[in-house]
A and B are shown apart, each in its own frame.
Chain A
């Protein structure tokens, strides 16, 4: 479990790292550079949704327990 988590993290970080490194040194940022980082944005969103869901379920359960 632990090992697969580390592996997934490494794959995600590798996937999100800019693949254009060491190419066209001294170039300006283009839309392609941003597009390359779009999956990272989605991963950030996914991460917070997962954490939020855990807390919101806990909050909902607590509210139900109190009202019963």
Chain B
């Protein structure tokens, strides 16, 4: 099982030297951003950026070879990243003086001007447009909260690493997509009870976001008493600090005053209809952490359960008699190798060392008669070659050349003899060959 999971996460499409170059680029960018004293989201963004094409191409290759299990793996990775954002948010709330101002205030012209008017910023410095990395905590009147020594209390914005994405539309799209994907996974893997549980929990989470989004997008009437927090921003290099500069009484819509709490969070629908329960309910950041953990844990267990049955589709097409167990056992031993048109993959007369399955492109099988080359057959995706030399324990009986850009999955002699030889013989007998 570990070998199968290892095979699923190992780089198969991307060559090792590209992975190492990406690792180096990622590390250099990370160090560069730290040296430049960039805010956390820029450091993380530049660290992840070089991995995006690698992740994309590797995922596409795995989806081609392993179909839904690879899609499932991508969903798990994205959902774990999403859960990480919620952990970062609640972690900041628990362990630092973080302020729940999401998305964080931006160093805009208006915020910069407010800071200049308050004497916090020099008039000559232009706004950077960057999000605040440090926020001075506001008190109930909207001014800076002071500690026992009369100093302002400051900390990070409690909006996860990428607080700029802490928007209702992003939450809605993400959760609805996650819910529908969970449902599709249930259809693909209907025997996994963990996936059914994931789907039910994702449904409950989706109801929350549908309700919240309705009050945000379609309930705009501003009739309620509220306060608009005013911010002034000061930029020191790339680090922007937001200072609370008072609260402005304003008429606000239902979302701003209550709707953002949704159904189950403190101050939401359940708390309003059953006031005795309200104080015991979690606040929105913690409720949504619990929701995401509740969805992610069975999703990961379901994935581990399903991933044990991962096998290569091209191998299954090439040798249709193999059982799922046999396919699963052989798949991690397959090694992808790529060739350019005209490249010789095996040469007639050479010692037979590998068995091959074509997974992309077309190859031609060539034999020499009286010094003249003759194309015996052409093989495409899901067909195999190289078996005769291995079965006879001798030499290659023909030359195989790539006629297009080709990818083959090769299997070494030992694994072939141990796990495939009998089935291949049966296939050849069916086709009327004598091995």
Q: Which A residues lie at the B interface, using CB under 8 A?
A: 13, 16-18, 20-29, 31, 33-35, 37-38, 40-41, 44-45, 47-48, 51-52, 55-56, 58-60, 62-63, 66
Q: Are B225's CB and A27's CB within 8 A?
A: yes
Q: Are A29's CB and B191's CB within 8 A?
A: no
Q: Which residues of B contact A56 (CB under 8 A)?
A: 186, 199
Q: Are B221's CB and A18's CB within 8 A?
A: yes
Q: B112-120, B161-169, B206-214: which one contacts chain A?
A: B206-214
Q: Are B254's CB and A62's CB within 8 A?
A: no
Where chain B touches its partner, the secondary structure class is helix
Q: Are B183's CB and A51's CB within 8 A?
A: yes
- 8 A Cβ contacts from B156-208 to A: 179-180, 183-184, 186-188, 190-191, 196, 199-200, 203, 206-207
- 8 A Cβ contacts from B215-270 to A: 215, 218-219, 221, 223-225, 251, 254, 257-259, 263, 269
Q: Are B203's CB and A34's CB within 8 A?
A: no
**C-alpha spacing A19/B280, complex, angstroms:** 31
**C-alpha spacing A52/B108, complex, angstroms:** 44
22 pairs, CB–CB < 8 Å, chain A vs chain B = A18-B221, A18-B254, A25-B223, A25-B251, A26-B224, A28-B257, A29-B254, A31-B273, A35-B273, A37-B259, A38-B269, A38-B273, A41-B263, A48-B206, A48-B207, A51-B180, A51-B183, A56-B186, A56-B199, A60-B190, A63-B190, A66-B190
**C-alpha spacing A38/B215, complex, angstroms:** 12
Evaluate whether A45 and B207 lie within 8 angstroms (CB atoms) in the complex, with A20-B223, A25-B223 already known.
Answer: yes
Evaluate whether A34 and B269 lie within 8 angstroms (CB atoms) in the complex, with A21-B223, A22-B223, A41-B211 already known.
Answer: yes
Which residue of chain A is the closest to B214 with respect to CB atoms?
A: A40
Q: Are A62's CB and B190's CB within 8 A?
A: yes
**C-alpha spacing A33/B273, complex, angstroms:** 10
Which residue of chain A is the closest to B224 with respect to CB atoms?
A: A29
Evaluate whether A18 and B203 lie within 8 angstroms (CB atoms) in the complex, with A55-B187, A60-B190 already known.
Answer: no
- Tally A-B pairs: CB < 8 A: 93
Q: Are B191's CB and A63's CB within 8 A?
A: yes
Min distance, Cβ B15 to any Cβ of chain A, angstroms: 38
Q: Which residues of B contact A60 (CB under 8 A)?
A: 190
Confirm or deny: B272 has a beta carbon within 8 angstroms of a beta carbon on chain A. yes
Known: A28-B224, A52-B200, A55-B186. 11 other contacts (CB 8 A): A37-B259, A38-B273, A41-B211, A44-B214, A48-B206, A51-B183, A52-B183, A55-B199, A59-B187, A59-B190, A62-B187
Q: Which residues of B contact A24 (CB under 8 A)?
A: 223
Q: Which residues of A contact B200 (CB under 8 A)?
A: 52
**C-alpha spacing A34/B273, complex, angstroms:** 8
Which residue of chain B is the closest to A57 with respect to CB atoms?
A: B187
Min distance, Cβ A26 to any Cβ of chain B, angstroms: 5
Min distance, Cβ A33 to any Cβ of chain B, angstroms: 7
**C-alpha spacing A56/B272, complex, angstroms:** 33
**C-alpha spacing A62/B222, complex, angstroms:** 49
Evaluate whether A22 and B203 lie within 8 angstroms (CB atoms) in the complex, with A51-B183, A59-B187 already known.
Answer: no
Min distance, Cβ A20 to any Cβ of chain B, angstroms: 7
Evaluate whether A22 and B221 lie within 8 angstroms (CB atoms) in the complex, with A44-B211, A55-B184, A59-B190 already known.
Answer: yes
Q: Are A44's CB and B272's CB within 8 A?
A: no
Which residue of chain A is the closest to B204 with respect to CB atoms?
A: A48
Q: Are A33's CB and B258's CB within 8 A?
A: yes
Closest 6 CB pairs of A and B: A63-B190, A55-B183, A34-B272, A59-B190, A21-B221, A44-B210
Min distance, Cβ A32 to any Cβ of chain B, angstroms: 10
Give the residue of B190, B259, B272 whose beta carbon is less than 8 angstroms from that of A31: B272
Which residue of chain B is the closest to A55 with respect to CB atoms?
A: B183
**C-alpha spacing A58/B219, complex, angstroms:** 35
Give the residue of B184, B214, B223 whose beta carbon is less than 8 angstroms from that of A27: B223
Min distance, Cβ B385 to any Cβ of chain A, angstroms: 32
**C-alpha spacing A40/B1, complex, angstroms:** 47
- 8 A Cβ contacts from B66-90 to A: none
